[in-house]
Structures are given as C-alpha cells and as structure tokens.
Amino acid sequence: MLGKLETVFSYTAHFILQSWPENSPGLLFLTDSGGRVINFMDMHDSQSGNSLSAAAREYVQTGKVCHYILESLGTKEVVVKTKNGYVYGAFPLKELDGSVRAVIGMIVAQQEIEFDLGAYMRGLEPLIRMGYDAYIQHATSQIVTDLTLYDTARDLLTNLTRQISSIISKGYCSAVKLSEEGVLVPQDCVTTEEAEPGQAHIAQLVTRIGNTPITPMALDDHRVIVVPVSLNSVPLYALFLHLPPKEQDCFYDTRDVAFLQEIAEKASCALWRAIMSDDLRREANKKDLLYQLMSKIQASIDVNDVLHEIVTSIPSLYPYFSVELFLTVEPDATTPVKQLSFQEDEPSTSTKAYLEGRLVAEEVGEGDQRVTVIAAPLLGKQGIYGVLQVTSNQPISLSQHEKDYIAILADTAGTAFENAQLYQQSRNLIRELRLINDMARQLNKSLDLKEILDFVTEMMQATFDAEFCAILRKQPEEDKFDVLSASIPAFNGTVVNAIEKPFRQIMQSKQTLLLAQPGAGPLPFSMYSCCSLMGVPLVVEGEISGVLLVADSRYHSFSFDDYKLLEIFGQHASLAMTNAVLHNEMERMVITDNLTGLFTRRYLNEQVRASLAKDNYGSLILIDIDYFKTVNDTFGHQVGDEVLIQVANLIRHSIRESDIAARWGGEELAVYLPRVDKATAHAVAERIRQCVEKETSPRVTISCGLAKWNREMDVNLSVEALFHQADIALYEAKNSGRNQVVLA
C-alpha cells in the first residue's frame, strides 16, 4: 500500500464522507492487518440528535479487535453484520497480490439508514481509488515544492529519493544520471541503499542494463521499476524503485508505479534547474582552476606548481578519475611523474597520445576489469613534453566538452616547459576567463530578452574592438535572418538573405567562421562592408536559431584567440536567450486560456482591479453564447470548441489592443474596456453581437450584460461588485429573449 495507512485513510475518508447521507450518524474507522483500530472519525450527525451508543464508540476508541473485522481479514471480502440495533461493516484493503493490509470499518445505527450497507461498502472501490489519486497528487506536489529549496542536483536527488522511499515504504529508491543518448552513467548515482561501493543492488542493476537507452520498464516481476526523467526530450536521470534480493515476498504495484511516474514528470523542471546550476558552477570551477594555474605560472613560472595543481585538482572535478603524468624528461619537481616508454610490443594509450600528438580515449582491460583511459599530450610551441593520463574506475562515456577540458589542462602543463612564452599566454587566458565570467554573471541576472541582446552586443563591440556587431535570428522555415540587435541602430529590424556566403558557410558547418581578406578589397558581404569577419552560430537543440556577427573594415582585425572567445560568447548567449524566450513563453501561458487564446479570468480580475485604482471610469461586458449546450449536443464538443474559438476571435477583432478580453468560464466570455463610457461600451457590445450572429458557423448568437462605473458615483467599488452588476444584466438578457445587450 502506497504511503502510511493513516495518511491514505484521511484522503479516502474525505471521498467516503462526501458520498454518505447527511442525516445518518456513524463511525468510520481504520484497522491494521491484525484488526486493531488505528484511526477513526465521526460521520454525519442525525438531525434528530441521535448518536451512537457509548459502547460502540468505546469499541473504536479503545482499538479492540472485533470478530467481523477478523472475518473480513480472513475471507478478504466485504462483511456486514447487524447486532443490537447497529449495522457493522468491514471493507478489506487488498494489495495486488491478494494480501490485506488494512480494513475500513463502519458502525451505523440501524434505524438511521434506509439502504443496504453491504451494497454501499461493495461500491467503495472507486472512492478508495480517488483517495489514492488525491494522496499521490498531494504527496507529489509537496515533494516538488520541497525540491525548489535545493540548487544542486545531488542535494535535490538525495531529498527526492528519501521522500519517495519514505512514501513507498519498501525497498530502495535510487537516481542514476542519463547521458545525452539516454544511457545510464553509473558513476553519478544517488541512492537510499546503504552498501559498500560495487556491492550495492543498484550497481548490479546498472551493470545489468548496460548501454541500453532507458525507457519506462518493470523488471523481475515488478520487483524493479525504472522511470526516466526528461525535460523537452532531454534525458536527465532515471529513477529506480528496487527491492533487495532477500525480500522475495514483495513487489511494486500499479499505485507505486503511478506515484513514481507522477514524480518523474513534475520534478523534471526543478531537476533541470539544479543540473543547469551544477553545470554553471562546474564550468566556473574549471575556469577558476585554469585561472589559478595561469596565476601560479605568471607569478613564479614554476613547473612544479603547475603539475601539482593539475594532479590535485582533476580528482576534485572528476572524483572517479585517477591521474598520472608521463614525461620525456625528468623535471626538478616534487610531483610524482613516470617516464614514457616506447619499448612495448603494443603501444599504451599514453604512448599513442604522444606519438600522434592528440588526445586519445579508449577502453582497456578485460571483462569486469575494463576501464576508460584518456591521455592528452603536453603540447608546447616547440614540441611535446609528455602526456597527462586520467583513468576511470569503470567504463564511462565522456562528452567532447569534458575531453576538451582535459586536453586544455594537458596543454597548460606543456606550456609550463616553455617559460619564454608563458607570461603572455597566461595574461591572455586570464583576460578571456574574466570576460567569460563577467558575461555569464551578467546574463544570469536577467531574463529580459532585450536586455540580454543589448548587453551581448555591447560586450562584443568592447571585447573585439570591432566597428560592427550584430545578433541575428533565423526565420523559421525560411532562408532569412532578422537583425535583433546591432551596434549601429539603423540595422535593427532589417532582413538579410541566408544564402550569402558567410551565412551559408555557418549554416552548413554549424561552426564558428573566421574570414579575413588579404589586402584584396572588402569581403563579398552586402550587409556591411568589411575586410575581417567572425560569425558564430547560436544552436538550440541541434538547430541553428541565430548568429553572432562581428565585422571590421581593417585587414586581419581578429586573431584565432578572438575566434575561440566569440565561440564561447555564442554558447553563453544562446543559453541566456533560450532561457529568456522560455521565461517569456511561460509568463504568456500563465495568463492565457489554452483553447481561445484570450486572457484567463484571474488576469482579467487583476487588470480590472488595477483600473479601478487608477482610472476614472470604465465598462465591463459579460458574454454568454446562447444555447451552447444545444450546439455541443447537436454537433459534438469539438464543434463547440470551434464555436468558442470563432467567438473569441471575433471579440478580439472588435476591440482595441488596450481592452482586455478573457474567458470567464465555460461558454462565458468577458471584455473589460478601461476608460470607456456606457454609450461607447454599448456600441462595442452591439458590434460584437452582430458579428457573432453573422459570421459564426454553425450560426450562434450571444447575450451580453453591460456594467459601467465611474469614480464619482461608485466610491470603493470592488471587482466582485462590478462583475455582479454585469452578471445581473446578462441574466436579464438571457431571460428576455437572448441575442441582445442589456445595461445594468
């Protein structure tokens, strides 16, 4: 049974009491599997003042075990007994395996009920299911609300798995990270199971599932339940409910699965925010590490400091990695290093990385002993000085971004051997990191799209000292770009053809573009005459949504470092713009009715309340579609919805942009006209009525109730009073023939 007995009983009792006759007093109680009463409550009192006897109440209050409760536990069926003027009923709460965990009992005075209590109790199943559903919804909402308190994924998942495990009350709950392909990432796991690493049941399950993309599944006769958590089709984590092998007589039922699925759906947004927060912190930590490395090199030009910093910091970023350094020379360093060997019959991973001069990642070992090894050469300007090698404790899949970061660390160590170039390189990297940190910090402060666009444009112009900078948006399904923001305001809002060479190259490669005209005149680009140009695509879910553009009339104005920095700018700008668009869309959805596209009733109330506070007068029109039930009954609810949409569109086209049209409820609509007098409002209402009568198909008419107010006559008028006036007028319009406008 999902949840604690007393908690589930309180939800179930709510629905039982709603269905119970008002004038029939009684006691409703809950027993455990041994028949002992653990909770009870009074049912409705009789108007005659009769109540249950002291003996009946004593039976419940003292928790005594009664024979008819034991009979229900034994037969697993509804039992109803009549004795001494009372009717006793027992309904067993059966699990899916047939066992009974609890009994819901009733005691009712025989003369107070005029129906068959047995038939009533046999019909309790739907009410109990409703109680479970209500409990699941409440428990889920409470858990999701609690999740907003956490800003790290691990803390959030620790709290989530503990709460799920507490409510399910059997087995363990675990959460395992999913890769972009939906495959389990075993090294990132949170579980309520207490076991030695590698011996935990969840570790065995992860190994068993392997590299199969996770889908909702039930394993081992419902002893293991797996539900993936995703947001906008992006895999985040997989939630596991799993029973230890020693618990052979237990399994998870449909209520447990329904609860886990509800949690997976509603917790996805909070989990995504925590993951994004973790990613930003992780990126900040990585940048801080690189900053520290560069600072040490700049301050002391000490190879040992650099090597020591790399060896000690990588495990803090990647706890599942061990670090080794292989060098071709023996530096004067206290950090342990190894000599590269070229005598093996089969080259090792570190040897391959050195010989090929690139990062090499591969799995080595056999059977259960396989591990992932990543080796990156220590590159300098004049050669390769060694290899940085990291080894996982089990096979894993690292993203290209993470591999690139390890390669950067290796490159940093390599440059430590070339002291002559070290100072300038560290200054450049520090500058870039500060710019990126400042940019990320500023972008995170705002969800206003215009502020973000203006900030990115200004920062690009200041950073690259460029004559022209712009942010362009790709038009959906068209080969055109709109200029959203430009350093030269005259370009704002202009449209550019996407088939021009720079844009065409960016669209084809989906990579940053650097063009420089070697003294042969301007580049072939119609938007702005220039000899140097950089462009970075803004990619959202694999598709190009826009471009950051930087141009200058000088030859070779931009370096390769500028090229890479603009690429990072594009990543941050794309994320910030996407977040702003999603935020704006979420705000729009909150105040908009899904079917009609009009505002919601709540938003209308807020706007009317604001108008009453600041305006001198205004008018309100309440609209009801005549005989709308007949439309639904005759043509079906789908046509009824289409009629609602038609009427909503006609209303929208008949009013000003400053007027507020909303769906009041069902087939009732409302229009508030701020600073509009009664005569004008009546003309607007009449215009809407005539349009609806002429232009709807199937043809419908509307009745309108019109209420007006002014500050001199209606002192302290409330929103509710204004709507009440309009509602009375609408009632009169409908009762006096419909298809008309009546003034309050």
- Average the pLDDT over each of 38-47, 407-416, 558-567 and give the range with the smallest value: 38-47
Residue 1 confidence (pLDDT): 43
Cα–Cα distances (Å) from 591 to 185, 584, 607, 618, 663, in that order, read 39, 11, 11, 22, 11
Confidence of residue 227 (pLDDT cuts 50, 70, 90): very high
pLDDT in tens, 480-523: 888 878 888 888 878 888 777 788 887 878 788 777 766 566 77
Mean pLDDT across the stretch 31-56? 66
Cα–Cα distances (Å) from 175 to 94, 252, 418, 620, 683, in that order, read 30, 17, 46, 53, 62
Confidence of residue 50 (pLDDT cuts 50, 70, 90): very low
Rounded CA separation 452/472 (Å): 13
- Average the pLDDT over each of 20-29, 617-626, 649-658 and give the range with the smallest value: 20-29
> Is 657 strand, coil or helix?
coil
Residue 527 confidence (pLDDT): 80
Residue 453 confidence (pLDDT): 75
Mean pLDDT across the stretch 168-179? 89
Confidence of residue 49 (pLDDT cuts 50, 70, 90): very low
Residue 686 confidence (pLDDT): 93
Which DSSP state fits 290? H
* 468 beta partners: 551
Residue 740 confidence (pLDDT): 93
Within 10 A of 667 (CB to CB), how many other CB atoms are there? 21
Residue 684 has pLDDT above 90, yes or no: yes
Higher pLDDT, 81 or 426: 81
Residue 130 confidence (pLDDT): 80
End-to-end CA separation in angstroms for the chain: 57
Mean pLDDT across the stretch 1-8? 60
Q: Which residue, 510, 500, 559, is CA-closest to 534?
A: 559
pLDDT in tens, 691-740: 999 999 999 999 999 999 988 887 778 889 989 999 999 999 999 989 99
User: CA angle at residue 429 from 425 to 430, to 5 degrees?
Assistant: 115
Residue 732 confidence (pLDDT): 92
Residue 703 confidence (pLDDT): 93
**Taking a C-beta distance cutoff of 8 angstroms, is the pair 418, 380 a contact?**
yes
Residue 673 confidence (pLDDT): 93
pLDDT in tens, 630-676: 999 888 989 999 999 999 999 999 998 889 999 988 889 999 999 99
Residue 304 confidence (pLDDT): 67
- Quick one: which H or E segment has residue 72? helix 67-75
Rounded CA separation 232/268 (Å): 10
Mean pLDDT across the stretch 226-235? 92
Residue 106 has pLDDT above 50, yes or no: yes
Which DSSP state fits 497? E
- Classify residue 725 as exposed, middle or buried by CB count within 10 Å of its CB (0-12, 13-18, 19+): buried
- Among left, alpha and beta (phi > 0; psi -120 to 50; other), residue 624 is beta
Q: Which domains does the chain have, with CATH numbers?
A: 5-131 (3.30.450.40), 148-266 (3.30.450.40), 283-431 (3.30.450.40), 446-583 (3.30.450.40), 601-743 (3.30.70.270)
Residue 700 confidence (pLDDT): 93
Residue 112 has pLDDT above 80, yes or no: no
pLDDT in tens, 442-480: 666 666 667 777 777 777 777 777 888 888 888 777 778
pLDDT in tens, 529-561: 888 888 888 777 777 778 888 888 887 777 777
pLDDT in tens, 395-418: 777 778 778 888 887 887 777 666
What length does the chain have? Answer: 744
DSSP strand pairing (338-339 vs 217-219): unpaired
Highest mean pLDDT (candidates 192-206, 504-518, 609-623)? 609-623
Residue 236 confidence (pLDDT): 92
Confidence of residue 286 (pLDDT cuts 50, 70, 90): confident
Residue 57 confidence (pLDDT): 64
Mean pLDDT, the chain, rounded, equals 80
Residue 421 has pLDDT above 50, yes or no: no
Higher pLDDT, 263 or 571: 263
Residue 110 confidence (pLDDT): 80
The per-type count for the chain, helices as H runs and strands as E runs, is 21, 26
Residue 330 has pLDDT above 70, yes or no: no
Residue 726 confidence (pLDDT): 92
Residue 467 confidence (pLDDT): 84
List all residues 6 or more positions away from 519 whose beta carbon is below 8 Å from its beta carbon.
555
Q: Which residue, 504, 507, 494, 544, is CA-closest to 524?
A: 504
- Quick one: which H or E segment has residue 231? strand 224-231
What percentage of the chain has pLDDT greater than the value 90? 18
